[in-house]
Amino acid sequence: MIKKIKILEVYIYEKKAGRLGQAGDGTFVFEYDPDFLKTGFSISPFHLPLKAGVFTAPATPYPGMFGVFNDSLPDGWGRLLIDRLLLKNRIDPAGVSSLDRLSIVGNNGMGALEYRPLNEFFKGSGRAGIKELAREVKKVLNENYTGHLETLATKGGSSGGARPKAMIEIKGESWIVKFPNSSDGTGTGMMEYDYSIAAKKCGVIMPETRLLEKKYFAVKRFDRRAGKKIHMHTAAGLLDADFRAPSLDYTDLMKATMILTGDIREVKKVFHLMVFNILSHNRDDHGKNFSFIYDNGKWSFSPAYDLTYNTGFNGQHTTTLLGQGLPRKKEIMEAAVEAGIKKEEVENILNETAAAVKGLKKYINLAGNTLS
């Protein structure tokens, strides 16, 4: 059975940050712990400033939930695994609240937030090799739930995104490995790996990446460092932007980055990633594919992730640029001026990125991918 949760205690770095509950109208409320108010920090600066009082979450876009806690809720593959496990245990997923789901995430979520009490209604083996995980993923994709659901949920039940993934360790360090979903081709892992190499080549900040078994893309987690958890917050959660539809513009993302970090170098990271996404035809650039991390007392734009060929929303970028779903050099230069980035630096970024993207020609029609 699963315990029904009325009040969740939210922890970060072994400190109680506050309490999360649900009001009678279905919206969620949060209050910082008095001790955390003295020594802590705002876990979501735009919507949960560090001050006393009860905060009420907006009704949208995350049905009454705060964006920072919605970041912890698994979607896509992770939600599928948890729902299948609930059904296996004769529990109707529709009756499991967001508070219940956060308690299932417990201390295994992305970033540093943890939730108590825990709802440990399943226990899976923490030991599984890549080939075994791949076999179990295939079973689930083929609607075969007789396999080791618990093991998959332990490895990937807190994850987001549509593609199957698992949290693994490589030489004592935390990594994420991705597996093809039912609509992916056999070269999906190789393609994402090639994209990561091209991104690094032109100066986009990315974590270390590998290609396992010559076909599974793996990336080192940036929310874990030497055994320490790092607080992370997606742009979608930070800005209450609906990541399922076009609701974000790169200019707004750069403005938010400047407000949050106060550092033009962090804004330039966003700009550089934007240029790479445009030139590499990565149009699935929704708000959950950008994040911020809080470490050593300051916020910064996170390393890039989920870079691959994608046709996006109706063939256009999910995050627009000055309202354009298919931006050209004109919009890029205008956005640079607005962000305070010099023309010479923009030209260097464009040239370096265009050169790096040539290595992706087997995925992209480069002839139709030039900026005018």
Contacts of 129 (CB under 8 A, 6+ apart): none
- The predicted-structure confidence for 22-70, as pLDDT tens digits, reads as follows 998 889 999 999 999 999 999 999 999 999 999 999 999 999 999 999 9
pLDDT at 146: 60
User: From CA 78, how far away is CA 65, in angstroms rounded?
Assistant: 18
Contact 252, 188 (CB under 8 A): no
Q: What is the mean pLDDT of residues 129-136?
A: 88
Contacts of 186 (CB under 8 A, 6+ apart): 180, 215
pLDDT at 246: 86
pLDDT exceeds cutoff 70 at 187 = yes
pLDDT at 321: 98
pLDDT exceeds cutoff 90 at 111 = yes
**Percent of the chain beyond pLDDT 70?**
95
Contact 366, 357 (CB under 8 A): yes
Which among 74, 67, 129 is positioned nearest to 103, based on CA atoms? 74
Which residue do the tokens 């750069």 mark?
254
pLDDT at 185: 76
Single-letter code of the amino acid located at 353: T
Domain-by-domain residue ranges, the chain? Answer: 7-116, 130-224, 229-368
Tokens read off for 163: 């593609």
pLDDT exceeds cutoff 60 at 129 = yes
Q: Confidence band (pLDDT; 50, 70, 90) for 244?
A: confident
Q: Which residue has the higher pLDDT, 312 or 161?
A: 312
pLDDT at 123: 66
Per the DSSP assignment, residues forming a β-bridge with 224 are 229
CATH of segment(s) 130-224: 3.30.200
Tokens read off for 95: 């009756």
Q: Confidence band (pLDDT; 50, 70, 90) for 245?
A: confident
Q: What is the mean pLDDT of residues 79-96?
A: 90
User: From CA 231, how far away is CA 252, in angstroms rounded?
Assistant: 22
- The predicted-structure confidence for 286-322, as pLDDT tens digits, reads as follows 999 999 999 999 999 999 999 999 999 899 999 999 9
Q: Minimum mean pLDDT among 120-124, 303-307, 327-331: which range?
A: 120-124
Q: How many CA atoms lie within 13 A of 276 on its CB side?
A: 28
Q: Which residue has the higher pLDDT, 26 or 239?
A: 239
- Helix-helix angle 264-279:250-261, to 10 degrees: 160
Which among 78, 197, 221 is positioned nearest to 137, based on CA atoms? 78
pLDDT exceeds cutoff 80 at 371 = no
**Which secondary structure element, helix H or strand E, spans residue 257, and what is its range?**
helix 250-261
pLDDT at 368: 54
Q: Confidence band (pLDDT; 50, 70, 90) for 152?
A: confident
pLDDT exceeds cutoff 60 at 369 = no
User: From CA 156, how far away is CA 368, in angstroms rounded?
Assistant: 38
pLDDT exceeds cutoff 60 at 367 = no
User: From CA 126, how far away is CA 167, in angstroms rounded?
Assistant: 10
Contact 313, 283 (CB under 8 A): yes
User: From CA 227, how far away is CA 221, in angstroms rounded?
Assistant: 11
User: From CA 83, how far away is CA 365, in angstroms rounded?
Assistant: 39
- The predicted-structure confidence for 7-27, as pLDDT tens digits, reads as follows 999 999 999 999 999 998 889
Q: Confidence band (pLDDT; 50, 70, 90) for 122?
A: low
Q: How many CA atoms lie within 13 A of 134 on its CB side?
A: 14
Q: Confidence band (pLDDT; 50, 70, 90) for 1?
A: low
Mean pLDDT, the chain, integer: 92
Is the N-terminal amide bond of 61 cis, ω within 30° of 0?
yes
User: From CA 346, how far away is CA 323, in angstroms rounded?
Assistant: 20
State residue 19 phi and psi, 5-degree precision. -125, 140
